[in-house]
């Protein structure tokens, strides 16, 4: 993986809808040739930010450049230099894979002499040689995703945006999609910017990431940097009295942080294997029955919890509740 000049430069970008800040004063730089991940729950602002960068929506404030083109002043240059795979399917089911690619190549003015060769290259890249002449309506979800990725590459984009490329797919198919994404980054030498709420996948695929929550970038860096930034080990305790457990451990000097989520108490400490007996002794002294205990190194999930106080699932639930409340309020106004 190689990172050179800036493929994306964002300065103070915001998007407001009445009382909702979908994107809130985001500033970010993404280097050429990287696989960059935007992580966050549904409703965090990932798709809105992408839609602004690809010029589908205008920002309320701020500026951004894609491949050196200003999104406000040079929209045509931006569009010609990027590819996009949307979260929702956008293929023509009645056409074959080959016909979908030919139509896209024509729309992007790929020269006829080069068109067929390029189509064959991208078909091979995503492993769909045997299905080139089959109608898309016969494809599985994973096959459609691979074809959409191939379509986004036909016109030799410098930047490829992938909005939740594996959402709704089974784990095996998701792993296959990530394999193709890493391969095309290496072979095509393009910058890939993807959005996802699968923390484990971003950890294994992305060279750098930014965590976005409620429209704001709350942390950025390589997965290793972010995880090492927490320090120590995570001791996870499952017990019926999680709040009492949290209160007791919060008073201990050698405990760096305590967070309760999904009924589990996560305790961040140095040398976790040495601290487990001490934690269990403290629980016993307080009359707290521990159901299970485990030890691990910090993950990107822990990074997210550290900055937000909640898991990504809990944040998604909050976002959904907020959306329902806004719909209810707006309905009353009407």
| Model confidence pLDDT, tens digit, residues 66-108 | 999 999 999 999 999 999 998 888 899 999 999 999 999 999 8
Q: Which residue has the higher pLDDT, 144 or 334?
A: 144
Distance between CA 11 and CA 156 in Å, rounded?
27
Domain with CATH 3.30.70.920 in the chain: 232-297
- pLDDT over 60 at 326, yes or no: no
Per-residue pLDDT, 5: 83
Average of per-residue pLDDT across 43-59: 94
Return the CATH fold of 232-297: Alpha-Beta Plaits (3.30.70)
Percentage above 70 pLDDT, the chain = 92
Per-residue pLDDT, 318: 57
Per-residue pLDDT, 291: 94
Per-residue pLDDT, 261: 81
- pLDDT over 90 at 199, yes or no: no
Average confidence score pLDDT of the chain? 88
Give me 27's structure tokens: 């500033």
Domain with CATH 3.40.50.300 in the chain: 6-226
String of DSSP letters for 157-201: -SEEEEESTTTT--HHHHHHHHHHHHHHHHHH--EEEEEES-HHH
- pLDDT over 50 at 329, yes or no: no
Are 50 and 193 within 8 A, CB to CB? yes
Are 39 and 196 within 8 A, CB to CB? yes
Lowest-confidence segment of 15-29, 33-47, 311-325 by average pLDDT: 311-325
Q: Which CATH superfamily is domain 6-226 in?
A: P-loop containing nucleotide triphosphate hydrolases (3.40.50.300)
In 58-195, alpha helices (H): 75-80, 97-107, 112-125, 141-153, 171-188
Phi-psi group of 215: left, alpha or beta (phi > 0 → left; psi -120 to 50 → alpha; rest → beta): left
């Amino acid at each position: 993986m190689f990172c050179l000049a800036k493929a994306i430069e964002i300065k103070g970008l915001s998007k407001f809808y009445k009382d909702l800040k979908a994107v809130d004063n985001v500033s970010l730089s993404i280097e050429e040739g990287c696989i960059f991940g935007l992580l966050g729950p549904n409703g965090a602002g990932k798709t809105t930010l992408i839609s602004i960068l690809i010029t589908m929506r205008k920002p309320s404030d701020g500026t951004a450049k894609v491949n050196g083109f200003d999104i406000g002043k040079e929209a045509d240059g931006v569009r010609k230099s990027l590819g996009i795979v949307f979260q929702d399917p956008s293929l023509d089911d009645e056409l074959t894979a080959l016909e979908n690619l030919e139509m896209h190549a024509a729309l992007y003015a790929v020269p006829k002499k080069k068109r067929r060769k390029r189509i064959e290259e991208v078909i091979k890249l995503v492993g769909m040689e045997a299905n080139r002449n089959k109608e898309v309506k016969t494809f599985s979800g994973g096959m459609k995703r691979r074809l959409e990725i191939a379509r986004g590459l036909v016109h030799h984009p410098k930047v490829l945006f992938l909005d939740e490329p594996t959402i709704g797919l089974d784990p095996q198919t998701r792993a296959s999609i990530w394999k193709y994404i890493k391969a095309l980054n290496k072979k095509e030498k393009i910058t890939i910017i993807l959005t996802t709420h699968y923390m484990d996948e971003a950890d294994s695929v992305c060279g750098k990431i930014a965590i976005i929550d409620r429209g704001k970038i709350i942390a950025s860096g390589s997965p290793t940097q972010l995880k090492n930034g927490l320090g120590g080990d995570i001791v996870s305790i499952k017990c019926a009295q999680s709040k009492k457990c949290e209160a007791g451990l919060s008073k201990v000097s050698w405990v760096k942080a305590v967070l309760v989520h999904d009924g589990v108490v996560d305790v961040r400490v140095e040398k976790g294997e040495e601290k487990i007996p001490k934690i269990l002794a403290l629980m016993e002294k307080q009359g707290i029955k521990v159901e299970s205990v485990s030890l691990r190194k910090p993950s990107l999930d822990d990074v997210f919890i550290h900055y937000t106080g909640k898991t990504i699932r809990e944040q998604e639930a909050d976002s959904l509740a907020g959306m329902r409340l806004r719909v209810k309020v707006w309905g009353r106004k009407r």
